[in-house]
Structure 1
Amino acid sequence: MTARTIAVVTAGLSQPSSTRLLADRLAEATRAALVDDDVTVKVFELRDIAVDVTNNMLTGFPSPQLREVIDTVTRADGLIAVTPVFTASYSGLFKSFFDVLDKEALDGKPVLLAATGGTERHSLALDFALRPLFAYLRATVVATGVYAASSDWGSVEATGALQQRVERAGRELAQLVAAAPEAKPDDEYASVSFEQLLAGH
């Protein structure tokens, strides 16, 4: 049995949020599809580290808490990234987090993209905003992106259709993760922060 880590990044601002709910469903679907692996899911709500992300953008130095999140995301075997849609695109907090990553940190990493919004007309954000961002980062994005509008949580029929999309996307991510070698740090300095390197550690 292979040990696998799935990192989940969710940019919902409220608590509880439909963005976190969708992220949890996607994580569970992925875990269920990786039946032959020992799967650890680590969920990060960006609202909890929003100040750290902003300070990193201003100073170039991550806080210890942000460094832990970055290390987990970049070393994970797969990534689930979920954002609310604001003004037909991803949230500023979501974009800011991925801006502070090294541009090669997600190179080849299996990624499942998802978004939430008030109406179905925002679903195009998956293909016209999120996919170009992760294509630039050279991630390997699964074919099925999952968008959940408010109406998708409103009835048994709609929720059932959403769950079908969730399970399909989870299987696609699981297939990519299972086909890849187990993630390992690139080298002995993989977990050393820039500040530590400057200090000679």
Structure 2
Amino acid sequence: MATVLSVSGSPSVSSRTAKLLRHLDERLVAQGHRVTPLDVRTIPAEALLGADFEHPAVVEATELFARADGVVIGTPVYKAAYSGVLKALLDLLPQYALTGKTVLPLVTGGSTAHVLALDYALRPVLNSMGAAHIVQGWFTLDKDITTGEDGGVTLAPGTAEALAQVVDQFSAALGRTPLLAAAG
């Protein structure tokens, strides 16, 4: 199946966004995809903020994007947009780093007032980077993501069903990407 890069754009160690992504990664693996997680917060700040294109962590992240067939990008909403650490990474990638790739954008936030960040902040950037297909994304309220003592994630019932459907649509689109690229 496809190789998927699962990117968490949260700066927080205890991030619900990252936990949600790792939970969704399991579904993609169960569907036969190879998933590589990338937590942007693990890239040294001096490399991100200093625009150090040659830093080994930035080079490695760039290579992960290049090897991926599909990319899941998750971010918390800060100031009605995606996170600054995610922006810093995207700025360091080649202009068309998403060319030929299927992309699933996911956003988490504390209020439905931030739901438009998905379509008005994140999606345009992903589109400008050449994504072949940006599937329907999803906004999830923080309160709908619960972490158990064992580290496992539980999603509110409606959220779990909606995210399963979105991930399944992404997975199906990954299977069609080579056909789209061959036709182009």
Q: TM-score, normalised by structure 1?
A: 0.77
The offset of 1:158, in angstroms, is: 6.8
For the residue of structure 1 that corresponds to 2:43, the secondary structure is: helix
Q: 1:53 aligns with which of 27, 43, 48?
A: 48
Q: Which amino acid aligns with 1:179?
A: R
Taking structure 1 as reference, are residues 162 and 63 closer, same or farther at Cα in structure 2, changes over 3 Å only? same
Q: Which amino acid aligns with 1:27?
A: D
Q: Map 1:85-164 to 2 at 5 A.
A: 85-139=77-131, 140-143=133-136, 145-153=137-145, 159-164=156-161
Contact 2:69 2:100 in 1 (8 A): no
Which residue does 1:43 correspond to in 2?
A: 37
CA distance in 2, matches of 1:13, 1:42: 18
Q: Which amino acid aligns with 2:89?
A: F
Q: Which amino acid aligns with 2:39?
A: E
The offset of 1:97, in angstroms, is: 0.7
| Structure 2 spans left out of the alignment, 5+ residues | 147-153, 180-184
Q: Which structure has the larger Rg over C-alpha atoms?
A: 1
CA distance in 2, matches of 1:158, 1:120: 17
CA distance in 2, matches of 1:108, 1:77: 8
For the residue of structure 2 that corresponds to 1:138, the secondary structure is: coil
Contact 1:30 1:167 in 2 (8 A): no
The offset of 1:30, in angstroms, is: 2.7
Q: 2:19 aligns with which of 21, 31, 53?
A: 21
Q: Which amino acid aligns with 2:7?
A: V
The offset of 1:64, in angstroms, is: 1.4
Contact 1:78 1:109 in 2 (8 A): yes
For the residue of structure 2 that corresponds to 1:90, the secondary structure is: coil
Taking structure 1 as reference, are residues 47 and 158 closer, same or farther at Cα in structure 2, changes over 3 Å only? closer
Q: 1:168 aligns with which of 165, 175, 179?
A: 165
Which residue does 1:63 correspond to in 2?
A: 55
| Identity, % of aligned positions | 31
Alignment deviations for residues 60-93 of structure 1 (CA, whole Å, 9 cap, x no partner): x331122112101221011000011001001111
Which residue does 1:79 correspond to in 2?
A: 71
Over 3 Å off, 4+ runs: none
Contact 1:27 1:170 in 2 (8 A): no
Aligned Cα root-mean-square deviation (Å): 2.0
1:177 lines up with 2:174 in the alignment? yes
The offset of 1:50, in angstroms, is: 4.1
CA distance in 2, matches of 1:115, 1:80: 11
| Structure 1 spans left out of the alignment, 5+ residues | 183-201
